[in-house]
């Protein structure tokens, strides 16, 4: 039982981690809590759904329930959602920044933008659920007593690859270094010649792309619906803050912890309270370490 | 004709109840700069406390007390104040946007509690049989609504008067000083945490009061009365009306609820039943757009904060 709950927790945690990276970047590089981030997950999932509707999920490859078309759909969704995030910044947040608005005005605006984005999804695709593929899958026993779907193992592996690639990007590329510099201190980064607008743009695009990947994974297990991102909102923020805003390993570990807390708690308390777990975990951590597990004291 | 009048009375009652919440939020956000994303949670605590305290004992409900209306109102405010105080102690020191996350989490947790604590709240079936004050004496629903409108008008006037006194008092000036420049306020010896906590508790208590007023008006409550969208609507009201101005907060409640109700009627009239969800979506998109557009193009709102409030400054 516990083993299975841990396995499920790691899987949920991986998806949360991918979304939480964007939230974490938002908190530290863009300097506000972007509550519209969860809607980027939803949009990513729906864009992939459109591609799949045209190309089909493909013939199942090996034990997986989909073919290469699904991967192509995810790539298209990542690019378009990245652009969508950037457009959102241009339309709303950049204007507010330039007006010198109160930092919390951006948070209000993010909630407003989230409402619009979430319900435009309902308007276009309707309130119901959709599936990428109707293929049936059988769980395989990966360890004694722990069963996972082949799709889920694939999702875990791909998440790991994405996180490693992101880590290399942040460590060695010029843009990545500039992003880290902005996270440390926007003013200092600016005087050192960092192109603030450029870094902001890349942060949005990257966050959107990662959100789309997370959204598609969420849609694979197992359905796509308008509230899918919003229902993860608290988990995403809990993960990002728990790990320490601005820290990539922090966001990943935060995501895993939140995923584990949600799934393992079900063994001990009424499953009806599963949704409160990320929040309770967050409160506990903030109480002891206000800067998060891996955050640095300001 | 009587149908229209009776609708108007009902509509105004709802606006006044929402007005109590917007006044509470205006103290938190408008005067103090606190970001409360869990309005709906405090509203729910007030509503359920009032329901439990006033409803007559019934099989299956373990805590019903059957006490008078006023006891329910006082208990609702006390319970909300207590929860807000505990929540505030844990979260008020956090940076502004973390407070938003924390309060949002509290609202989510409270909604889960209303769903799951079935013997206390009736769960997702809802809580019925909440007495409406003087309903039997007045005889008809219309007379009751009219009476309740008068009662609400008195409550709102009282709350408005009290808040106006408070924000113009030295206490209110400290709140604005903390909002504008925390470091300076702290350097002058004011405890930012204490004043923030006080404003948070008072504002949340008003949200609890509004919850009590709502359930004793409708006579029924269920977790579906407390969906997150209500929090966003209240924000839209305060921001569109003019944050930092109590009259603005009330005007915002009227304007935004009028838009919401009017689009709701339009949707039921003109949108085929099969597309009801899409019609509802248009309603919500409108609220989101209003919020964003107000922030972009009229951050002051319809009637914004007055430039100065000290009567001594006017003389100089």
Confidence of residue A55 (pLDDT cuts 50, 70, 90): confident
Q: Which residue of A has its CA nearest to B115?
A: A272
| A103–chain B nearest CA distance, Å | 9
Exposed/middle/buried for residue B34 (C-beta within 10 Å: 0-12, 13-18, 19+):
buried
> Residue A112: its chain B contacts at CB < 8 A?
232, 236, 287-292, 295
> Residue A102: its chain B contacts at CB < 8 A?
33
Q: Which residue of B has its CA nearest to A32?
A: B97
Condensed to tens digits (0 to 9), the pLDDT of residues A85-133 reads 999 999 999 999 999 888 889 999 999 999 999 999 999 999 999 988 8
Condensed to tens digits (0 to 9), the pLDDT of residues A143-152 reads 777 888 888 8
> Residue A119: its chain B contacts at CB < 8 A?
281-282, 284-285, 288
Confidence of residue A41 (pLDDT cuts 50, 70, 90): very high
Task: Locate the DSSP E strands across B101-179.
Answer: none
| B208–chain A nearest CA distance, Å | 21
Q: Which residue of B has its CA nearest to A274?
A: B112
Q: Could you tell me which residues come within 8 angstroms of residue A288 by beta carbon, excluding any fewer than 6 positions away?
A: none
| B276–chain A nearest CA distance, Å | 10
Tokens representing B310 are: 């000290």
Confidence of residue A297 (pLDDT cuts 50, 70, 90): low
State residue B244 phi and psi, 5-degree precision.
Answer: 95, 0
Q: Which of A112, A272, A280 sits opposite B292 (nearest CB)?
A: A112
Instruction: Please state the domain extents for chain B.
Output: 10-226
Helices (H) and strands (E) in chain B, counts: 14, 0
- What does the H/E/C string look like for chain A? CHHHHHHHHHHHHHHHHHHHHHHHHHHHHHCCCCCCHHHHHHHHHHHHHHHHHHHCCCCCCCCCCCCHHHHHHHHHHHHHHHHHHHHHHHHHHHHHHHCCCCHHHHHHHHHHHHHHHHHHHHHHHCCCCECCCCCCCCCEEEECCEEECHHHHHHHHHHHHHHHHHHHHHHHCHHHHHHHHHHHCHHHHHHCCCCHHHHHHHHHHHHHHHHHHHHHHHHHCCCECCCCCHHHHHHHHHHHHHHCCCCHHHHHHHHHHHHHHHHHHCCCCCHHHHHHHHHHHHHHHHHHCCCCCCCCCC
* Spatial distance between the Cα atoms of A111 and A104, rounded to a whole number of angstroms: 11
Residue scoring higher pLDDT (A100 or A291): A100
Measuring CA to CA, how many Å separate B300 from each of A153, B163, B240, B244? 52, 20, 8, 9
Q: Which of A33, A102, A282 sits opposite B105 (nearest CB)?
A: A282
For residue A290, pLDDT over 90 is answered with no
Residue with tokens 């109160």: A102
% of chain A with per-residue pLDDT over 70: 98
Closest to A198 in 3D by CA, of A179, A212, A172: A179
Q: Could you tell me which residues come within 8 angstroms of residue B202 by beta carbon, excluding any fewer than 6 positions away?
A: B24, B27, B166
Q: Which of A113, A270, A280 sits opposite B292 (nearest CB)?
A: A113
Quick check: helix, strand or coil at residue B37? coil
Residue to mutate among A276, A277, A287, with most B CBs inside 10 A, is A276
- For chains A and B, CB pairs below 8 A equal 133
* Spatial distance between the Cα atoms of B281 and B290, rounded to a whole number of angstroms: 14
Q: Average of pLDDT values for A223-251?
A: 90
CB contact under 8 A, A276 and B105: yes
| B236–chain A nearest CA distance, Å | 9
For residue A66, pLDDT over 90 is answered with no
Q: Which of A95, A116, A278 sits opposite B289 (nearest CB)?
A: A116
Condensed to tens digits (0 to 9), the pLDDT of residues A157-166 reads 999 999 999 9
Confidence of residue A298 (pLDDT cuts 50, 70, 90): low
| B6–chain A nearest CA distance, Å | 32
* Spatial distance between the Cα atoms of A211 and A81, rounded to a whole number of angstroms: 8
Closest to B227 in 3D by CA, of B102, B86, B114: B114
Q: Which of A101, A102, A108 sits opposite B235 (nearest CB)?
A: A108
Q: Which residue of B has its CA nearest to A93?
A: B296
pLDDT computed for residue A182 by the predictor: 87
% of chain A with per-residue pLDDT over 90: 52
Residue A222 preceded by cis peptide, ω within 30: yes
Q: Which residues in chain B show pLDDT less than 50?
A: 315-316
Domains and CATH numbers, chain A: 2-288 (1.10.3470)
> Residue B295: its chain A contacts at CB < 8 A?
96, 101, 105, 108-109, 112
CB contact under 8 A, A119 and B37: no
Residue to mutate among B25, B97, B243, with most A CBs inside 10 A, is B97
State residue B58 phi and psi, 5-degree precision.
Answer: -150, 150
């Amino acid at each position: 039982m516990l083993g299975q709950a841990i396995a499920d927790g790691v899987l949920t945690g991986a998806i949360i981690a991918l979304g939480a990276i964007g939230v974490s970047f938002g908190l530290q590089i863009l300097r506000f809590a972007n509550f519209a981030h969860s809607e980027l997950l939803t949009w990513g999932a729906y864009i992939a759904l459109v591609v799949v509707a045209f190309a089909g999920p493909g013939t199942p490859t090996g034990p997986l329930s989909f073919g290469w078309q699904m991967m192509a759909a995810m790539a298209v969704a990542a690019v378009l959602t990245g652009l969508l995030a950037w457009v959102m910044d241009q339309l709303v947040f950049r204007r507010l920044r330039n007006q010198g608005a109160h930092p919390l005005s951006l948070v209000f605006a993010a909630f407003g933008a989230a409402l619009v984005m979430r319900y435009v999804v309902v308007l276009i695709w309707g309130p119901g659920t959709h599936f990428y593929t109707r293929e049936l899958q059988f769980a395989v026993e990966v360890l004694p007593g722990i069963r996972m779907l082949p799709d889920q193992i694939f999702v875990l592996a791909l998440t790991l690859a994405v996180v490693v690639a992101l880590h290399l990007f942040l460590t060695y590329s010029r843009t990545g270094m500039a992003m880290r510099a902005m996270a440390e201190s926007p003013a200092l980064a600016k005087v050192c010649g960092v192109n603030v607008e450029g870094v902001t743009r890349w942060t949005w695009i990257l966050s959107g792309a990662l959100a789309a990947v997370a959204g598609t994974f969420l849609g694979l297990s197992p359905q796509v619906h308008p509230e899918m991102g919003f229902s993860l909102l608290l988990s995403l923020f809990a993960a990002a803050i728990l790990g320490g805003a601005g820290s990539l390993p922090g966001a990943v570990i935060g995501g895993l912890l939140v995923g584990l807390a949600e799934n393992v708690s079900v063994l001990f308390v009424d499953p009806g309270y599963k949704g409160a777990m990320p929040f309770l975990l967050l409160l506990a951590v903030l109480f002891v370490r206000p800067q998060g597990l891996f955050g640095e004291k300001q | 004709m009587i149908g229209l009048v009776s609708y108007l009375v009902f509509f105004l009652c709802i606006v006044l109840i929402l007005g109590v919440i917007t006044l509470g939020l205006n103290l938190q956000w408008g005067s103090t700069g606190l970001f409360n994303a869990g309005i709906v949670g405090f509203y729910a605590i007030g509503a359920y406390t009032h329901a439990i305290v006033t409803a007559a004992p019934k099989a299956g409900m373990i805590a019903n007390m059957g006490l008078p209306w006023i006891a329910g109102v006082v208990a609702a405010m006390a319970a909300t104040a207590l929860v807000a105080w505990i929540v505030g102690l844990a979260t008020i020191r956090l940076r502004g946007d973390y407070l938003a996350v924390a309060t949002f989490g509290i609202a989510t947790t409270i909604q889960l509690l209303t769903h799951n604590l079935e013997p206390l709240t009736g769960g997702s079936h809802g809580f019925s049989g909440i007495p409406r004050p003087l309903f039997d004496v007045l005889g008809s629903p219309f007379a009751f609504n009219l009476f309740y409108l008068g009662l609400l008008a008195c409550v709102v006037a009282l709350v408005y008067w009290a808040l106006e006194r408070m924000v113009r008092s030295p206490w209110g000036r400290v709140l604005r000083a903390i909002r504008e420049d925390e470091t300076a306020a702290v350097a002058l010896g004011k405890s930012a945490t204490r004043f923030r906590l006080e404003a948070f508790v008072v504002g949340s208590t008003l949200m609890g009061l509004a919850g009590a007023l709502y359930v004793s008006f409708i006579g029924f409550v269920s977790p579906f009365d407390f969906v997150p969208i209500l929090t966003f609507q209240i924000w839209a009201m305060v921001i569109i009306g003019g944050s930092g101005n109590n009259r603005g907060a009330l005007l915002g409640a009227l304007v935004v609820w009028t838009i919401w109700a009017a689009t709701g009627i339009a949707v039921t009239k003109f949108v085929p039943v099969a597309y009801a969800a899409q019609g509802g979506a248009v309603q919500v998109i409108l609220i989101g757009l209003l919020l964003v557009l107000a922030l972009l193009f009229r951050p002051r709102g319809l009637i914004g904060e007055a430039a100065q409030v000290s009567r001594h400054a006017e003389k100089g």
